[in-house]
Amino acid sequence: MATGSAFGKTILIGDQFVQRGVPAIVSAIPFETVAEVERIDGDGWTLEDNRVEVPGYKEKKKEQQVTSINRILEVMEIDVQKTPIKITYGGTLLAGSGVGASAASCVSLARALNNEFDLGYSIDQINHVGWEGEFAYHGIPSGVDNTASTYGGLLFFQITNGEGSFERIQIPKPLEMVLGNSGVTADTGTLGAFLVQQEERAPVLFSTRLKTIRNQVYEMKKGLEAGDLEKVGTIMTENHEILIDMGLSHETLIYLCNLALEKGALGAKVTGGGRGGYMVALTPGRELQDAVASAIEKEGYKVMGATVGGR
């Protein structure tokens, strides 16, 4: 029997447009999915998914999950007819849209399989397997989620000439954030087609928005490195306004973002693909983080407090 673990993530900016050449700033969060693999009698593979979930998430993603596991087994050349296995998922990461739950499941499974079958995969190979597993959930995945899940940290991620790459962002001190869950499970696999429709309807406006978001990403990176949190928060909120105009937020996420700002958050926006899932608020300092988290929780929504970055 062997185990593997992988981080969840939050996207500070850029996630929806990585495939279109816009960089993203992503951070792993200190919540993990843990996969356990054990050899069993019989044939094929079985699954026991014990992750705590947003109601309905696991059922909605069940078919995608099966396809993903089969793809990972194929890529890693593991014949479960000859060596049957049981896969068990658990850990502290809530299974829901917007926090990299699918990527964490893929990467943690890749690590568990690598350990159980002594394959000797490098961390880069584990990341690649995680990316392969993400196809079932996202169509063609950008790679940003599995990269954060695999390597951890605060990252500047971009795709250049079809290849994903990242660099670590160093900030003066760790940042406290609050993630609030809308309870809405989004289908990120339809995001690409949704954006194509927008571009076809208004190509000039679409291009202008992407240029603005690209500039926001670079300005946010500078703000993070300089410790200018007011600037970072302002960019987050301004970026969310663009996402709202593009139909990439959700009325519940808008409500939670406004609530966080009312309680003193420096910035707030949807995180991940959007149209459901989580929002993220910048709440430096434990006191502010607790106040914002408490306000969202009192409204009946699930909350995660996370500390990210630092040297």
pLDDT (tens digit per residue) in 238-256: 999 999 998 888 899 999 9
Q: What is the pLDDT of residue 146?
A: 95
Q: Where in the chain is the domain with CATH 3.30.230.10?
A: 2-168
pTM across the whole model: 0.90
Strands (E), 95-174: 154-160, 163-168
Length of the chain: 311
Picking from 49, 86, 79, the residue whose alpha carbon sits closest to that of residue 65 is: 49
DSSP label of 95: B
Backbone angles phi, psi at 301, to 5 degrees: -105, 145
Question: What is the predicted pLDDT for the residue at 189?
Answer: 56
Average pLDDT over residues 32-40: 97
Q: What is the average pLDDT score of the chain?
A: 92
Instruction: Please give the DSSP secondary-structure letter assigned to residue 81.
Output: T
Residues of the chain with CATH 3.30.70.890: 175-308
Tens of pLDDT, residue by residue over 168-218, are 999 999 999 999 988 777 666 566 677 778 788 878 998 899 999 999 999
- Select from 3.40.50.10490, 3.30.230.10, 3.10.290.10, 3.30.1130.10 the CATH code of 2-168: 3.30.230.10
CATH class of 175-308: alpha beta
